[in-house]
Structure 1
Amino acid sequence: MSAGDSSSTAGQQAGEKLHWVPLESSPEAMNKMVHRLGVDQLAGFSDVWGLDDELLAMVAQPVHALVFLFPLRNATREARMAEAAAAANTVSPNVWFMRQTIGNACGTMAVLHALGNCQDRIPIGGELAAFYAQAKDLSPRDRAALLEASSAIAESHSASAAEGQTAAPPPDADVLHHYAAFVAVDGCLYELDGMLASPINHGPSADLLHDAARAIKKRIEALGDDAEMVSVIALGPAPDAD
C-alpha cells in the first residue's frame, strides 16, 4: 500500500515543484532507507498488528514513535487543518517539525518526523545526521527547502519506493493514502503531518504506545467506511535485532 499527497504539482524543471514516487507502507523498505542514511542498525520500524492491548503487548519496546497510514479525503483534510490551527499555540518549541512541499513525500516525512523527535535516543549518523544538524535552527518551511535540496534523502527514498512489495505508482499519481507520525515530547503526545501548518497536541502522555493507539483509534472511527484502509508502524528496536 503506497501513500502520498497530490497537492503539489510534479516536475524537476526550474520553477516547478518536486514530486517523489509514493513510499509503500512497508517497515522493510523504511528500514533500508533509514539504515542507508545512517540510522543505527539496532533501531528500525515494525508492523503494529492491532491497537487493542493484547496486540500492543506484542510490539517490541521501547517504542519511540508510531507512523499512521490512512485515506485522506477532502473532508478529513479540512478537519485536520482546523484541528492543527486550534492546536498551534499549544506546541512545545522542542517538537521537531517540518512542512511538506514535495508531492507524495509524506511517507519519508513521517519517518523524518519520527526520527527527528528521538535523536537523543536513537544513534543517527551519516547523511541523516548531517541533515538534522543543518535543519536544527531552521523554520519548518526552511527545513522543507533543505529536504528539497537533499539528493541523498531523495535517492534513498526512491530506492525504498522501488523495493516495496507492490509496483510503485508514478510520481505524479493522485494517491489516496497519507502518513502522519505520533511522538511524545515534553510529556505531551503530538501528531505530525507536514501538510498541516502545525503539529497537533493530543494532550498529556505518559505511555506513547498506548496513548498514540487511543488517538489513532479516534482517527479510524472518524473514517467511516474507510476505516479498514489503514496501517500502523512502530519505531523501536529493529525487527531482526537481538
Structure 2
Amino acid sequence: MSGGWNTIESDAGVFTYLIEKLGVKDVQFDELITLEPDELRQLGDIYGVIFLFKYPTGEKPSDVPKDGTFDHDAANDIFFAAQTIQNACGTQAILSVLLNKDGEVDIGNELRGFKTFSSEFPPDLRGETLSNSDLIREVHNSFARSSPFIDETTRAATEDDDVYHFIAYTSINSTLYELDGLQPAPINHGPCTVSEFPEKIIPVLQRRIARYPATEIRFNLLACVRDPRIRARELGDQEKLEEEEHKRTEWLWENALRRHNFVGFVGELLKGVVRDKLAQGEGAYEKWIEEAKGRTRRRAQQGQ
C-alpha cells in the first residue's frame, strides 16, 4: 500500500503545473468567475470543467441520481474510476477529464501507460490502481500546502469538518458526462458535442448549485483548456501572450509559497523581536508584553 494523499487547493496554477509534472502538454486550467457560456467560449478549446463544492455529509448513495441518469455501460467504455482514498478527488477529477481526451490532448507517456494498464479493470479496481500510483501520488502531494502540525495523510474527516469534493464534467462520444468517483457510475446529462459544451454545461451546474441554500457560496469552477499561449502565438497577439506568461510567473511564485514551511521563519522573527526589546534596556520587554496583553483584552471586550 502506498503512502497517503494530502489535500490540494482548487487553484488554476496548482492544477496547471500538476498536470505538466505528470507529462501533459499544452493544457491549462483557468478559473471561471461567472456561469456564462460566453466566458467559457472565450477560453478557446475546452476539454472539460472541474467543479468544487461542499459535500453534504450524511448523504447516502442512491440508485437514482438527483440529476441525469446513471450510465453503467459507460463505466466500462470510458475512463471512470471509483474514489477509494481520502483527499485524492482533486487529481482524480483532473484525470477523469484528461484520460478521456487522449487523442485530443497529449497526456504524456506516464498517464497513457497508466490508462492502458487500467483500461480493462472495473471502476473500483481502477480507483485502487490510481490511489496506489506512486508517481501520481507524489506529484499530487508536491502541490499540497506545507503543514507542520497536521498529517493529512492519516487524519480522517469527521462530521464536524467542512468536507469539499471535486467532480468532472466533459463531453465524451457526444454525451455530457458527470464523472464523480463517489457515484456508482458516470452520470449522463444528455447529448452534447464538444462545440455545444459551453451551452450544455451551464444549466447542469446551475441545477446543482440550486440544491444548496442561497447563503452557500463556496463553489469553485475551473475550466480545462488548450494552453492559450499557443493561440496567442498563432495569431501574433503579443499582448495576450505577455498576459499569459505573466500569469504563469505568478503561479510559480504562489506554488513555491504553498510548499514552504514558514514556522522556522516565524520563530526566528520572534527571536529577533525579543532580542531587540531586551537590548532596549531594563523593563522594555516587560512593558511590551503588558501592552500586548492590554490590546488583546480590548479586542476581546469589543467582540463581546
TM bin, normalised by shorter chain, reads 0.7 to 0.9
CA contact (8 A) 1:37 1:126 kept: no
Aligned to 2:8: 23
Q: Does residue 36 of structure 1 match 2:21? A: yes
Q: Does residue 224 of structure 1 match 2:207? A: no
Give the whole-Å Cα distance in 2 for the aligned partners of 1:148 and 1:49: 31
Aligned to 2:96: 113
Deviations 1:115-173 (A, max 9, x none): 1111120012132222112112221122112113211000000002238xxx9982325
Deviates more, 1:144-153 or 1:98-107: 144-153
Q: Does residue 123 of structure 1 match 2:112? A: no
Shift of 1:81: 6.2
One-letter amino acid of the counterpart of residue 157, structure 1: H
Stretches of structure 2 lacking an aligned partner (at least 5 in a row): 233-304
CA contact (8 A) 2:76 2:123 kept: no
One-letter amino acid of the counterpart of residue 51, structure 1: L
Output the aligned Cα RMSD. Answer: 2.7
Aligned to 1:103: 86
Q: Does residue 192 of structure 1 match 2:174? A: no
- Which is helix-richer, 1 or 2? 2
Aligned to 1:51: 35
- 1:186–1:26 CA distance, 2 compared to 1 (3 A): same
Q: Does residue 236 of structure 1 match 2:225? A: yes
- 1:240–1:223 CA distance, 2 compared to 1 (3 A): farther
Give the whole-Å Cα distance in 2 for the aligned partners of 1:129 and 1:65: 18
CA contact (8 A) 2:37 2:202 kept: no
Aligned to 1:3: none
Aligned to 1:82: 64
Give the whole-Å Cα distance in 1 for the aligned partners of 2:31 and 2:228: 9
- Identity across aligned pairs (percent)? 26
One-letter amino acid of the counterpart of residue 236, structure 1: V
> Which secondary structure state, in structure 1, belongs to the residue aligned with residue 52 of structure 2?
strand
> Which secondary structure state, in structure 2, belongs to the residue aligned with residue 82 of structure 1?
coil
Out of 146, 157, 160, the position equivalent to 2:129 is 146
- 1:147–1:56 CA distance, 2 compared to 1 (3 A): closer
User: Within 5 A, what are the aligned runs for 1:154-233?
Assistant: 154-162=137-145, 170-171=152-153, 172=155, 174=157, 175-206=162-193, 207-225=196-214, 227-233=216-222
Aligned to 1:7: none
| Bigger Rg, which one | 2
CA contact (8 A) 1:68 1:180 kept: yes
TM-score by length of 2: 0.65
- 1:219–1:26 CA distance, 2 compared to 1 (3 A): same
CA contact (8 A) 1:97 1:192 kept: yes
CA contact (8 A) 1:190 1:201 kept: yes
> Which secondary structure state, in structure 1, belongs to the residue aligned with residue 20 of structure 2?
helix
> Which secondary structure state, in structure 2, belongs to the residue aligned with residue 78 of structure 1?
coil
Give the whole-Å Cα distance in 2 for the aligned partners of 1:152 and 1:55: 34
- Count matched residues: 221
Give the whole-Å Cα distance in 1 for the aligned partners of 2:75 and 2:83: 20
Give the whole-Å Cα distance in 1 for the aligned partners of 2:6 and 2:215: 23
CA contact (8 A) 2:88 2:131 kept: no
Higher RCO structure (Cα 8 Å, ≥6 apart): 1
Give the whole-Å Cα distance in 1 for the aligned partners of 2:177 and 2:21: 27
CA contact (8 A) 1:91 1:200 kept: no
Aligned to 2:272: none
Shift of 1:231: 0.7
